[in-house]
Every structure is written in C-alpha cells, then in structure tokens.
Chains A and B, each alone.
Chain A
Amino acid sequence: MIDFGYTLTPSSTIEIDDADLSLFDQLCALEPDALKCMSCGSCAASCTAGVFTDVNLRKVLLSLQRGCEKDLLFQLKSCMLCGKCYIVCPRGINTRHLILSICKIYNI
C-alpha cells in the first residue's frame, strides 16, 4: 500500500440504521422509565463523580437510545451510586436502579 501521508477519516455520524437496539429494548422492559429522560442534564450537573471523571448519565442514556453506547458505557464505572441524580431528576426516574440495570444488561 502506498503511503500518501493521509487516509480516509472515519465518519462520526450516528448511523441509526446500523444500531442494534436489542439490549436497549431489554433495558426498557426492565426499566420503562429509561424512556422518560428529556435530557435536561440535572443528573450530570449534580453528579459527585462527574466533577472528577467523565461520567454523564444523560449522555450515556442518550447513547443507549441511539445504539452507540460503546464509547460511553465505561463512564458508569465511575458512578458511586450516591443517588444525588435520583433526588434531582425532574422526571422522577430511579436513576440508581437504572444504572444498576444498565450495568447488568450491558455487562459492565
């Protein structure tokens, strides 16, 4: 192969056509409230761990819904299950329970 000094750049597009949502469907069966998130960001804003690490529940949840969770799931490892996000969630999502279910289903 010839080295041209540049190569094709991988696309950053979220390709919903290729998304495998089977795990997300499993999650919703167990945690229907996962669908209630409206991406307000209260969870991430109040997150104790988020100050020091990348963890951002809003983004993780969105990535599950778009089937592109691979790059973000690791974030949940930083969660300390303190429950602050549960207190602040305006949709009343039991986020702690949700995080545990995500870990179980997505095998983190």
Chain B
Amino acid sequence: MIFQGKQKIWSDYQKEIPDDHWFYVRSCIRQGFFPGSEVAFLDIVRNKLDKDFFETEHHTTCGGIAYHAEALPQETMMTIIARQFALMAEHGYENYVCSCITSFGLYTEVLEDWRTFPDLEDKIREHLWNSCKRELKKPKYLAHASDIIYKFRNEIAARAKHRLVNKFTGEPLRVVEHIGCHYSKMFPSKGVGGAEYPYVLAGMIDSWGGEVIDYPERRHCCGFGFRQYLVKANRGYSMSNTYKKFESMEPYKPDMIITNCPGCPYFMDRWQYVIAEQTGKTYGENGYGIPVFTYEEVAGLVLGYDPWDLGLQLHQVAVEPLLDKMGVKYNKEDKYKGKGDKLLQMPEFPMNIKCC
C-alpha cells in the first residue's frame, strides 16, 4: 500500500464544510438501533465544541427506506425532502446536516436531479406549495454528521480522555472503517476522500491514535441492502455479504469497527451473533465478536463519556474487551440501568458468541 497515493486522492476529494450554524435532522432508525449516538453528537457539537446546531420536532422521515424499497414514488419522496429544506430555511439556516447516510445519499441525489432537471425542481416546488404551503429553499451546504465530526476530529483529539491505543501494549488499536454505501458511492465528490478510499472515518482514526485497516472487502456493502433484509426469505443474502466482509477482515485481527451509516453497524453487529449461532464462528478474541461502533460512540468514548450513557449496552457484540483496551472505566452493575437507574430488561445470552 502506497500511503502517499491515498493522500493524493484525499486531497482531490476535499469538501467544504462550514464550521457553524447547522440545521440538524435525525435518522428514523438510528434512535432505535443506537439510541445514544445522536444525543452524544448534539452534546459534543453544542456543549464541547460550542457550536450552533438546531433541530425541530417538525422534521419527518426523508422517505428513504420506502423509496429504496420501491414503495414510494420519486416525486413524493422529493416533496418530503423539499419540506425538510423549507423547514431549514424557515428557521434561518442554510447548512443542512443529517444523521442518516441513506438520507444523505437521497438529499445529494435529489439536489443533483434538480440541478440537472430544473423543470422537476419547479414541479416539486409547486407540489410543496400545494400540499403544505411552504416555500422550497435549497441548502447552501449539505453535510453528513460524520463530516462534522471529521471536521472537528483534531479538536476532539485535543480534548481526548482516551485514545484509540491499546493500553496493555501501547500499540495503536487496529480499526476497520466501514462507510455507508450511500455516503459517496453515488456521488464521489460529495464525500470526504471520494468513493474508493473515503477518508471521513479514516481521518478520525488517524487523529485519535488508531491504525486504519484496509482489507480486500473494505468497499463491500455491509449487506443491509433494503430489499435483501426487508424480506425475510432474502436475509441470507444480507448476512452472506456481512460474512464475506468478516472473512476478509479476519486475518487483520481488528480490535473494532467504526461506521457512519444507520444500517451498517446494526447488521455488522447483529449478524455476528447469527453467524456464530449458525456456524459456530466468531471473529474477535477468545470467543467474542468484533465490537462495532458508530462514529459518535467512538467520539464519545474518546471524549470520556460513560459507555452506558452512549447506549453501548444495546450492542449485540460485547464492547467491554474494547473498553478495557482503551482504558475506559465502566461499572458492570450499571450496564443495564436506564435513566434514573431504572433497570432495563436483561438480554438472553447467546450460545456461541461470548458476551459480558
């Protein structure tokens, strides 16, 4: 691997990310999958970095899942998106940042479609006015929330309580970065680092002391793929893709995986359990899995947040081995305690994959 070659590509795919005043929109599914991530993001940017991130309860789904499952026509999806943009403008913002990769891909696609077919934009503008009497105003800048964390990666590193370094050996942690397909595969110039060698997560890992692993199936989809997963009979395809990735990364002995998509961390986390139960195979050390994180969770750990406040107890694969390596202190008894120390339900323990 020629590192300078990658640097050259990274310098070719730089994207302008304003450093303040963003209209933030949450994801439909991430709050269920990784409930601590978006809260942590807002806390980091607002309270640690002192930035203005605004959100409104009137924001809805972007329609992405229904659109990709072919249950929602394109014009309907575009009108929903036009409404989100209108909300942003009504609150006086022109920088739009979303938490979800599918939304980000869709927003990018829609803006590009409108740029290519201005008639379509006019039509949607009309739809929006007719349906909710709102005025479409397109954002000046569009970013994914991982772009923001990427932008502030060095500020976060400067405040780091823990680094991505194995405290037992002093070696950098070996980190697999997995980018959501809809981040830059459709429009390489809209993502930090492009589509083939994205830098958005690799940059965070570099800044926070870890070592990025580039393995043969790095670019491959996590397997979610909407229709593969949504129809139960097809889930084998979804899992087979995840399996392919794990088989490919296994020789590198990764300590952790970091992702920037709602689906990827979920499936890479949960499928490890199903693969273990079906084949007996696990990919971490000593019968554990490889813990999978969102970038907000990792940023949170680096900044010293309590792992249970970050929602890490909701992961299938146990995160404790990684917390130990990073030197993150945690209280075992508190793992399944929710807000106000209310005990959450205890999960059943799987047979073939070790959990704490």
Shortest CB-to-CB span from A68 to chain B, Å, is 18
Contact with B along A1-28 (1 / 0, CB 8 A): 1101111110100000000000000000
Q: Which of chain B's residues has its CB closest to A13's CB?
A: B244
Contact A6 B244 (CB under 8 A): no
Shortest CB-to-CB span from A59 to chain B, Å, is 25
The docked-state distance in angstroms from the alpha carbon of A88 to that of B292 is: 59
Contact B244 A1 (CB under 8 A): no
Shortest CB-to-CB span from A3 to chain B, Å, is 9
> In A62-102, which residues have CB < 8 Å from any B CB?
none
- Residue in contact with A6 in the complex, picked from B236, B243, B277, B351, CB distance below 8 Å: B236
Contact B277 A1 (CB under 8 A): yes
Q: State how many residues of chain A have any CB contact under 8 Å with chain B.
A: 9
Shortest CB-to-CB span from B220 to chain A, Å, is 12
Interface of A (DSSP majority class): loop
**Which residues from B are CB-within-8-Å of A4?**
235, 274, 277-278
Contact with A along B237-249 (1 / 0, CB 8 A): 1011001100000
The docked-state distance in angstroms from the alpha carbon of A4 to that of B244 is: 19
Contact B277 A2 (CB under 8 A): yes
The docked-state distance in angstroms from the alpha carbon of A97 to that of B206 is: 62
**Which residues from A are CB-within-8-Å of B239?**
6-9
- Residue in contact with B275 in the complex, picked from A5, A8, A11, CB distance below 8 Å: A8
Contact A9 B237 (CB under 8 A): yes
**Which residues from A are CB-within-8-Å of B274?**
4
The docked-state distance in angstroms from the alpha carbon of A5 to that of B232 is: 8
The docked-state distance in angstroms from the alpha carbon of A59 to that of B213 is: 39
Contact B279 A6 (CB under 8 A): no
The docked-state distance in angstroms from the alpha carbon of A77 to that of B278 is: 38
**Known contacts A1-B277, A1-B278, A2-B277, A8 near B243 by CB under 8 Å:** yes
**Which residues from B are CB-within-8-Å of A6?**
232-236, 239
26 A-B residue contacts at CB 8 Å?
A1-B277, A1-B278, A2-B278, A2-B351, A4-B274, A4-B277, A4-B278, A5-B232, A6-B232, A6-B234, A6-B235, A6-B236, A6-B239, A7-B236, A7-B239, A7-B278, A8-B236, A8-B239, A8-B240, A8-B243, A8-B275, A8-B279, A9-B236, A9-B239, A11-B240, A11-B244
Q: A6-B233, A6-B239, A7-B239 are in contact. List 20 more A-B contacts (CB 8 A).
A: A1-B278, A2-B351, A4-B235, A4-B274, A4-B277, A4-B278, A5-B232, A5-B233, A6-B232, A6-B234, A6-B235, A6-B236, A7-B236, A8-B239, A8-B240, A8-B243, A8-B279, A9-B239, A9-B240, A11-B240
Interface residues of A (CB under 8 A from B): 1-2, 4-9, 11
List the 5 closest pairs (A to B, CB-CB), nearest first.
A6-B236, A6-B235, A9-B240, A9-B236, A2-B277
